[in-house]
Copies of this chain bind each other. A is one copy, B any other.
Amino acid sequence: MDNLETYLTHQNKKRSSSNRTRREEAYERIKDAIRHAELKPGEPLSETRLSKLLGISRTPVREALHQLVQEGLVETAPGQTVTVASRSIQDVLDVVHIRSLLEPELVRLAAESISQAQIETLEGVVIKLEEAAKQHDLAAWAKVDVVFHDIIKEACPNKLLGQTVVQLKNRVHQVANIDTHTNPERLITCTQEHRVIFDAIKAKDSQAAKQAMETHISALTNSLLKRISYR
């Protein structure tokens, strides 16, 4: 707990200027704390305690917590005290399963509507991905990966589809990168899979793009399943 307080206080200085409202500030700081496992699953989050901790009054903190509840990162316990949600591997698999239904179609639609400018941007992103993978720079890779999927999302005319996928990913963000983070080999193959997806998009072959994404998520699933057997 003491470490947590230090961490959150530290974040304060860094972020206070960039966040517009206190509510957003509270939201991001709590969210970050959960993602960095400073706030551990099952830990009760008292509004009063958090507000003291963050130096923000209860109202914005409370609103931030509500938002996190709706996103599934925290859950309301029987006694109404919200706690940090615990994520099982099954939860991650559930998310990936849904993604396997949505993302191939997302990419297919994107490939049909993507602009030339977006393709060029995307090409740069893929190259950055490949560079990051070669240098085993996980942090950089993860950042660029987000951009990659963001561009595809933007290119998809069904905005709600993109939004839904993002929500699903957020839900397991703190553990989702287990895959590439702990398996250097996956980082390489995963990057190759991205390249295949991009090539199909560039060729405006939407069916191929869809299949490439199916392959990608299938590989991801297998990697996760292997991980289970290690336990």
Which A positions have Cβ atoms within 8 angstroms of B?
Answer: 59, 62-63, 66-67, 70, 91, 94-95, 97-98, 101-102, 105, 158-161, 164, 168, 171
Contact of A161 among B94, B158, B159, B171 (CB under 8 A): B94
Given contacts A97-B158, A101-B101, 4 further A-B contacts (CB under 8 A): A62-B63, A70-B70, A98-B158, A164-B164
Q: What's the minimum C-beta distance from A171 to chain B, rounded to whole angstroms?
A: 8
- Nearest opposing residue in chain B for A172, CB measure: B160
SS of A interface (majority): helix
Contact A94 B63 (CB under 8 A): no
Tell me the number of copies of this protein: 2
Contact B101 A160 (CB under 8 A): no
> Is B168 touching A94 in the complex (CB atoms < 8 A)?
no
> What's the least CB distance linking A111 to chain B, in Å?
16
The distance in angstroms between the C-alpha atoms of A95 and B164, with both chains bound, is 10
Distance from A173 Cβ to chain B, minimum over Cβ atoms (Å): 14
Considering the complex, give the chain B residue whose CB is closest to the CB of A71: B70
Q: Of B66, B159, B161, which one neighbours A63 at CB under 8 angstroms?
A: B66
Residue of B nearest to A93 (CB): B158
Q: Which chain B positions have C-beta within 8 A of A91?
A: 160
The 6 closest A-B pairs by CB, nearest first: A94-B160, A94-B158, A101-B101, A70-B70, A98-B161, A101-B105
From B67, B161, B164, give the contact of A66 (CB < 8 A).
B67
What is the CB-to-nearest-CB distance from A195 to chain B, in angstroms, rounded to a whole number?
25
Residues of B within 8 A of A161 (CB): 94, 97-98
Within the assembled complex, what's the spacing in Å between the Cα atoms of A215 and B63? 42
- Name the contact of A164 in the complex, choosing from B59, B63, B98, B158 (C-beta under 8 A): B98
